[in-house]
């Protein structure tokens, strides 16, 4: 499908306020609420646009890990699918010709990380190697905010759509009772209060109050998934960078300002900076690596891992694969 300027404005509006009403978005964009609703349905069906309400791991103080798993060629899809079914994975992708898996794991401070990282994963059949990289600082993407390609709205339009700040009682906190609500919001962050009440078994007033508190405390944020192919971005690559320690902050801040970057974080491990880059094609990736990454002082080495297929994005499974247990 073709994406025009109004479509891009609606996508940007949803990144600013994932639960903004059609009338609210239409008033800011100068179109009717019926037009916004019709365009949104079209974007959902044809461009994979999905708003997801997600726990904010930074505000909640979660440990965040990136896993790199190398498998035999026949096992990658099944192992990735098993990881995707876990509630503590945010995204799971096949990379590097389909024999490597990259996964983001978010663990509350009280979670038993050793059970996953040191016990279950190493015992998985046909798993060749596992490396775990703890993310120690976020520069771009996810709860940090939209990437530099979100430029369809003016500052005044962004301000008009930005939710009014409010303070919830107490620090950011989730409970076991929130799990049904979070599961529903991960699949569709724009579900109405009746649908959320049905998913949780709560009264609509309780759902409304709990959403208000979770958003106000910073425990919940909204992200937007879009099929990059529809937007013309066919080269998606994970970059693992080795950067001189004294230059990590500067390099991270620099790449966070690149329009090609949708995610960037400092990590532990043999590489200390990871980023997801999207370009129109591999020629564009070459230009990005040689002209932008190559110009950064302190970058010693870059490993590129093309993203072959997303199994899970923004907390929701997107692709099925044969069952496998981890």
CA 212, 216, 217, 222: dihedral to nearest 10 degrees?
90
Let me know if the fold of 62-134 is the same as that of 229-313: yes
Question: How large is the C-alpha radius of gyration of the chain?
Answer: 20
CA atoms within 13 A on the CB side of 38: 6
pLDDT higher than threshold 70 for residue 116: no
pLDDT higher than threshold 80 for residue 110: no
pLDDT confidence of residue 151 = 84
Nearest to 231 by CA among 271, 174, 281: 281
Per DSSP (E only), the strands in the chain are 50-55, 63-71, 89-95, 100-107, 127-140, 220-225, 235-243, 261-267, 273-279, 299-313, 316-317
Burial class (CB in 10 A: 0-12, 13-18, 19+), 242: middle
**Alpha-carbon gap, residue 324 to 12, rounded angstroms:** 37
* Model confidence pLDDT, tens digit, residues 140-167: 988 887 666 778 999 999 999 998 877 7
Q: What is the chain's length?
A: 326
The domain segmentation of the chain, as residue ranges, is: 5-56+153-225, 62-134, 229-313
- Which CA distances in Å does 8 have to 36, 38, 159, 231, 233? 12, 14, 17, 9, 14
pLDDT confidence of residue 146 = 64
Record the tokens describing residue 63, joined without a space.
């440990």
* Model confidence pLDDT, tens digit, residues 214-266: 998 989 999 999 988 888 899 999 999 999 999 999 999 999 999 999 999 99
* Model confidence pLDDT, tens digit, residues 154-201: 999 999 999 887 777 778 889 999 999 999 999 999 999 999 999 999
pLDDT confidence of residue 165 = 79
* Model confidence pLDDT, tens digit, residues 204-220: 999 999 999 999 898 99
Q: Do the Cβ atoms of 153 and 13 come closer than 8 Å?
A: yes
What is the model's pTM? 0.86
Stretch 84-99: mean pLDDT: 86
pLDDT higher than threshold 70 for residue 321: no
Is it true that domain 229-313 has CATH number 3.40.50.920?
no
CATH class of 62-134: alpha beta
Q: Do the Cβ atoms of 87 and 112 come closer than 8 Å?
A: no
Stretch 95-117: mean pLDDT: 77
Sign of CA dihedral 16, 21, 27, 32: positive
- Which CA distances in Å does 270 have to 95, 113, 135, 240? 19, 20, 13, 9
- State CA 191 to chain mean position distance: 19
pLDDT confidence of residue 122 = 58
* Element containing residue 210 per DSSP (H, E): helix 204-217
pLDDT higher than threshold 90 for residue 320: no
Domain 5-56+153-225: assigned CATH number: 1.10.10.2890
| Confidence grade of residue 279 (pLDDT, cut at 50, 70, 90) | very high
pLDDT confidence of residue 93 = 93
């Amino acid at each position: 499908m073709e994406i025009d300027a109004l479509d891009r404005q609606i996508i940007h509006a949803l990144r600013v306020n994932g639960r903004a009403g059609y009338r609210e978005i239409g008033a800011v964009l100068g179109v009717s609420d019926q037009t916004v609703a019709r365009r949104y349905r079209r974007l959902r069906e044809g461009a994979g646009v999905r708003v997801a309400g997600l726990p904010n791991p930074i505000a909640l103080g979660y440990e965040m890990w990136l896993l790199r798993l190398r498998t035999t060629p026949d096992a990658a899809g099944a192992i990735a699918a098993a990881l995707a079914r876990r509630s503590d994975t945010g995204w799971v992708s096949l990379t590097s010709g389909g024999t490597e898996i990259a996964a983001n794991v978010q663990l509350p401070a009280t979670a038993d990380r050793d059970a996953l990282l040191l016990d279950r994963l190493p015992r998985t059949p046909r798993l060749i190697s596992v490396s775990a990289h703890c993310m120690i600082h976020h520069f771009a993407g996810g709860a940090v905010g939209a990437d530099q390609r979100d430029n369809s709205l003016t500052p005044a339009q962004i301000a008009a759509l930005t939710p009014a700040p409010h303070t919830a009682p107490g620090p950011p906190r989730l409970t076991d009772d929130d799990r049904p609500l979070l599961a529903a919001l991960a699949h569709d962050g724009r579900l109405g209060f009746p649908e959320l009440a049905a998913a949780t078994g709560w009264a609509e007033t309780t759902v409304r109050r709990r959403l208000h508190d979770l958003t106000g405390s910073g425990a919940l944020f909204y992200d937007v998934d879009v099929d990059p192919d529809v937007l013309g971005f066919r080269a998606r690559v994970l970059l693992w960078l080795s950067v001189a320690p004294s230059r990590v902050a500067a390099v991270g801040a620099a790449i966070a300002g690149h329009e090609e970057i949708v995610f960037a974080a400092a990590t532990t491990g043999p590489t200390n900076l990871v980023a997801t880059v999207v370009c129109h094609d591999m020629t564009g990736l070459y230009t990005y690596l040689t002209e932008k990454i190559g110009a950064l002082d302190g970058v010693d080495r870059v490993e590129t891992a093309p993203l072959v297929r997303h199994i899970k994005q923004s907390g929701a499974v997107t692709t099925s694969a044969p069952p496998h247990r981890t």
